[in-house]
Structure 1
Amino acid sequence: MTSERDGINLAAKPSGTGCVECSAAGGWWFHLRRCVECGHIGCCDASPNQHASKHNAATGHPVITSFEPGERWFYDYRTGEAFAGPKLLGPHAHPSDQPVPGPDGVVPPDWQARLHE
């Protein structure tokens, strides 16, 4: 099932509770983003590895949404615009007890100096 906007799959479930690539490599992230086409969870562009944008570049999946508690925005890489999107399958965010940045025990003490602006 898809919505009116290309790149939105209402049946896609999140791939996990953290950035797929950072988790596999023992890395950390600042904020998380969810691909609205396939459910891939990647780290934001402020994070050291920017996996959400790299996922977009590798797959062409054009739309992300925040995977942070309390945030409900969507972003289209093609237009560079944020928009209000449809209700997706849950969960809609990482667990509220998961720290930001995360994951717990992996974030370096100088994490703020490692963020991209």
Structure 2
Amino acid sequence: MKHCAHVDSLPRPEPGPRSDTCEGCVAAGTHPVQLRLCLECGNVGCCDSSPLKHAAAHFEETGHPVMRTFEPGESWRWCFVDHVLA
């Protein structure tokens, strides 16, 4: 199984969310399907099932590698660099 080394370098404690929804979707007038929290800076973006894929766009713009789900009752993480659950 592939290992993600990026998790070890994340800020502790993890950053708080900068918003409670995807601000990119709000600005574009679309509705996010699922939310993701950047574990480097606290940006909240929508998932790849959303029309504009703001969480992935945030990774492309910033290089911040790991996000976690921002959905109630879920706690999984994803590394965009290693393409693994982290």
Q: TM-score range by the shorter chain?
A: 0.7 to 0.9
Q: Which runs of 5+ in 2 are unaligned?
A: 1-5
TM-score, scaled relative to structure 2: 0.84
Task: Give the structure 2 partner of residue 80 of structure 1.
Answer: 83
8 Å contact kept, 1:20–1:40: no
Structure 1 segments, 4+ long, off by >3 Å, are: none
Structure 1: gaps of 5 or more residues: 84-117
Equivalent residue number for residue 70 of structure 2:
67
Query: Matched residues, percent identical?
Result: 40
RMSD: 1.6
Deviation, 1:13, is 1.3
TM-score (norm 1): 0.63
Distance 2:38 2:7 in 1: 16
More strand by share: 2
Cα distance change of structure 1 residues 11 and 66 upon mapping to structure 2, 3 Å threshold: closer
Change (3 A) 1:80 1:18: same
Letter in structure 1 aligned against 2:77:
F
- Residue 39 of structure 2 corresponds to 36
Bigger Rg, structure 1 or 2: 1
Task: Give the number of aligned pairs.
Answer: 80
